[in-house]
Amino acid sequence: MKFRPCIDIHNGQVKQIVGGTLTDKNNYAEENFVSRQNGSYYGRLYKRFGLYGGHIILLNPQDSEYYKADCEQAFGALREFEGGLQIGGGITAENAAGFLNKGASHVIVTSYVFKNGDVNFGNLNRLVESVGKSRLVLDLSCRRRGEDYYIVTDRWQKFTDTVLDERSIDLFSGYCSELLVHAVDAEGSVSGIEEDVAALLGKACRIPVTYAGGISGFDDLELLNRIGGGRIDFTVGSALDIFGGKMKFEDVAAFGSSAI
């Protein structure tokens, strides 16, 4: 169980948002925290603590007026921690190599693979051909609808027709080296983890997986560790003191290095 730190970038700033409020209209999201620091600062910080495998998420779409500014923030972090961070947001088979050349260790992809509610296996195979399975992370972030969790895309706004379950996890694990799963309904809420999502990941994942969403304190980390049998890595966002929360960054990093 490892701590995978995050750098979420929206409207050209590092921030923490309430995940379910993100919308393309007027580039809006409800904000928990807007940092005075830039991407480079967080890249240096994570490198100093040796926290490999964290993720940068570009939250604006490619056609947004802010996307270029988002990328500049991201590139600053990648320069400071070359090979130490993954990046997602607007990744395609055509531009993925460019992000790797900028210093990302992996690219993270959702919307390019899940198109119009369906899985676009053509795009998925093009990604594997472009960057290789070993440098591809699939984002299977999900929201509950009825009794099931469905994979969501386009900055978590659109439901796909794909249920997140043991079968789909096994299928997509064959195309990538890692999975990233935001429990979107809990994202930014600091209200506790989605235990059903965590239990599914602990049971079904046979490749590295990172859980994000709702972590509010060390009790949540202990619960996640227990549910996942120590196999689920984790991200803490709004609860961290570096993002305005109460959990000390140094203590979370230490927990990640000692958890079994």
The answer to whether residues 180 and 156 touch, using CB atoms and an 8 Å cutoff, is no
CA distance 86 to 252: 20
| pLDDT tens column, 48-100 | 999 999 999 999 989 999 999 999 999 999 999 999 999 999 999 999 999 99
The answer to whether residues 12 and 29 touch, using CB atoms and an 8 Å cutoff, is no
Look at residue 43 and give its three-state secondary structure: helix
The confidence score (pLDDT) of residue 19 equals: 67
Domain boundaries, the chain: 6-255
**Which of the pair, 157 or 14, is modelled with greater confidence?**
14
Q: Where are the beta strands (DSSP E) in 127-235?
A: 136-139, 142-145, 148-153, 158-163, 178-182, 209-212, 232-235
| pLDDT tens column, 146-197 | 999 999 988 788 899 999 999 999 999 999 999 999 999 888 778 899 999 9
Backbone angles phi, psi at 105, to 5 degrees: -80, -35
CA distance 212 to 185: 11
Q: Kindly state the tokens that stand for 84.
A: 């130490």
| Closest by CA position to 127, among listed 147, 113, 146 | 113
CATH topology of domain 6-255: TIM Barrel (3.20.20)
CA distance 99 to 89: 11
| pLDDT tens column, 121-146 | 999 999 999 999 999 999 999 999 99
Task: Give the single-character DSSP code of 155.
Answer: T
Contacts 24+ apart (CB under 8 A), 110-116: 110/138, 110/139, 110/140, 110/141, 110/151, 110/153, 111/153, 111/154, 113/138, 114/151, 114/153, 114/160, 114/162
CA distance 201 to 205: 5
Look at residue 59 and give its three-state secondary structure: coil
Contacts 24+ apart (CB under 8 A), 89-97: 89/9, 89/56, 89/57, 89/58, 89/59, 89/60, 90/58, 90/61, 90/62, 91/127, 92/123, 92/127, 93/123, 93/126, 93/127, 93/129, 93/130, 94/130, 96/127, 96/130, 96/131, 97/130, 97/131
pLDDT score of 43 more than 70: yes
- The model carries a pTM of 0.93
The confidence score (pLDDT) of residue 259 equals: 58
Backbone angles phi, psi at 125, to 5 degrees: -65, -35
The confidence score (pLDDT) of residue 170 equals: 97
Q: Kindly state the tokens that stand for 160.
A: 């796909």
Percent with pLDDT over 90 in the chain: 82
